[in-house]
Structure 1
């Protein structure tokens, strides 16, 4: 019984770690896309000013 609980606890910890890894990857991707959107907006503004 204790062995079973220990195995389940280990699996839960592993799943939590994978979930955290996925969250960090999604956060990094989101920040990258936000940065690109900002640069795109800056370029658009510069083009409009230069016209």
Structure 2
């Protein structure tokens, strides 16, 4: 069995969603809870504890 190089292999959320959350957290002066609230308004259900920072 080949070893996976995917750094997101342990998370249930999609890599694109995690990258978006991290980009929003780094680019804008927002907390992870604020990013979670913003995404909830857009219909994305994710917990701020999911993001590996």
Could you tell me the TM-score, scaled by structure 2's length? 0.28
The structure where helix makes up a greater share of residues is 1
Of structures 1 and 2, the one with the larger relative CO (CA 8 A, separation 6+) is 2
